[in-house]
Structure 1
């Protein structure tokens, strides 16, 4: 990549705002390649330079990605106009203005939510062209039936006058507890699909988004960074190369 201003790089890495970064540099707290840098308007190649703040090396990443086990009661947004946004769950060190939630989850829906700063990745993961599957665990008021399985798979259902893509419904030993895999994400789609079959969703949790599974042992309300293997698989699912991350 080309050269970037040091204050922009440090702000991108979450060190602080540009004004905060400038004050830190003037105090002698910032080093580049072993040398104290007082002027943060100086430019560098962030992928080659060795940057330290208060003696701690910083690894440059152009994009950031988190998987969050979303609890009920939070909205899939970065703003609080309609409720408490999911980003309020993140610790201070992960707070940044450019997070993008990938695929909406209703306020009362739990489970896997991907947060990324990579706009093209977010766009492809939710665009119908790439047919990225989303899998949900669903608890129902009444037992689902083999006929439901056939209807969901047939593509006969529609919402708002538009046909739905075929969906895979899996019945378990208890047909009130099922898994549903969708290739799209319409507004309240899971609830509305079962409502058309005369049933009601009591509980809903997303357990997978493409190749990304809800991590075992990740507590509700907690996020973690994606592993290298998860990133590789996620990028590959939408035809992107996961190079420098």
Structure 2
């Protein structure tokens, strides 16, 4: 890999900016000052420093984001704030992308990474990766609703959903509201809202709390993100 690309990939500026760092003799390779930006380096064997500080190469980055409502799941948009706008200048990278999507008004777990292979595996319809949502519903969910969801119900437009799991956690009879969890193995457009509407109720609040074996960190504030631990990455890669 070219030295300027190595430094740019590690977030030390654009290719033009890191070329200046190299030209100004601020970069060393294997403890020798390097002024040629085209110099080839081995990202895992060579010892690269900037102003005397080691630059450790990291190919893939994995983040857990607790997405807030009002933010769209996209990398760039001319009119709406995106999930990548939440990232600090230090952590932002042009190659980061969200794994799947959450609706603008939906909150919760979103994985952000530049590992395209992992993203593909998690989104592949053949993998049937479970996604669990906390849902607050205007209406009383019943055992018949549980049965219909489990059997693979048909929603508007004639679309047939795969069998899913509806878990009723709490029913507020007085206000006619239900708190439930729904576990899907697919991701049709506005699927949960459309399923609930087909059952004669409406979604008031929606939050994703799990994807595969990864759960939303309850200590992660809404609108915040953190890097995934090695153990969490391993859990994701198991499916």
**By the TM > 0.5 criterion, same fold?**
yes
Q: 1:84 aligns with which of 42, 57, 81?
A: 81
Q: Does 1:150 align with 2:147?
A: yes
Q: 1:167 aligns with which of 164, 168, 192?
A: 164
Q: Does 1:138 align with 2:135?
A: yes
- Which string of whole-angstrom CA distances, capped at 9 and with x for unpartnered residues, describes residues 69-126 of structure 1? 0000100001114511110000111111111111110001100000110112111111
Q: 2:105 aligns with which of 100, 105, 108?
A: 108
Residue 175 of structure 2 corresponds to none
Q: Does 1:37 align with 2:34?
A: yes
Would you say the 8 A contact 2:155–2:194 is kept in 1? no
- SS of 1:43 mapped into structure 2: coil
Task: Tell me how large the CA RMSD over aligned residues is.
Answer: 1.3
Change (3 A) 1:82 1:198: farther
What is the aligned length?
234
Would you say the 8 A contact 1:75–1:82 is kept in 2? no
State the Cα distance separating 1:197 from its structure 2 match.
0.4
TM-score when normalising by structure 2: 0.94
Q: 1:222 aligns with which of 221, 224, 233?
A: 224
Determine the C-alpha separation between the residues in 2 that align with 1:120 and 1:225.
18
Q: Which runs of 4+ in 1 moved over 2 A?
A: 156-162
Would you say the 8 A contact 2:156–2:198 is kept in 1? no
Would you say the 8 A contact 2:155–2:198 is kept in 1? no
Would you say the 8 A contact 1:151–1:157 is kept in 2? no
State the Cα distance separating 1:212 from its structure 2 match.
1.1
Determine the C-alpha separation between the residues in 2 that align with 1:138 and 1:189.
12
Residue 187 of structure 2 corresponds to 185
Residue 242 of structure 1 corresponds to none
TM-score when normalising by structure 1: 0.92
Residue 201 of structure 2 corresponds to 199
Residue 212 of structure 1 corresponds to 214
Would you say the 8 A contact 2:134–2:182 is kept in 1? yes
- SS of 1:94 mapped into structure 2: coil
Determine the C-alpha separation between the residues in 1 that align with 2:222 and 2:58.
27
Change (3 A) 1:73 1:57: same
Determine the C-alpha separation between the residues in 2 that align with 1:35 and 1:197.
69
Would you say the 8 A contact 1:30–1:37 is kept in 2? yes
Would you say the 8 A contact 1:75–1:85 is kept in 2? yes
Change (3 A) 1:186 1:174: same
- SS of 1:128 mapped into structure 2: coil
- Which string of whole-angstrom CA distances, capped at 9 and with x for unpartnered residues, describes residues 169-217 of structure 1? 1111336110111001111111010000011000000001111110121
Unaligned runs of 5+ in 1: 238-245
Unaligned runs of 5+ in 2: 173-177
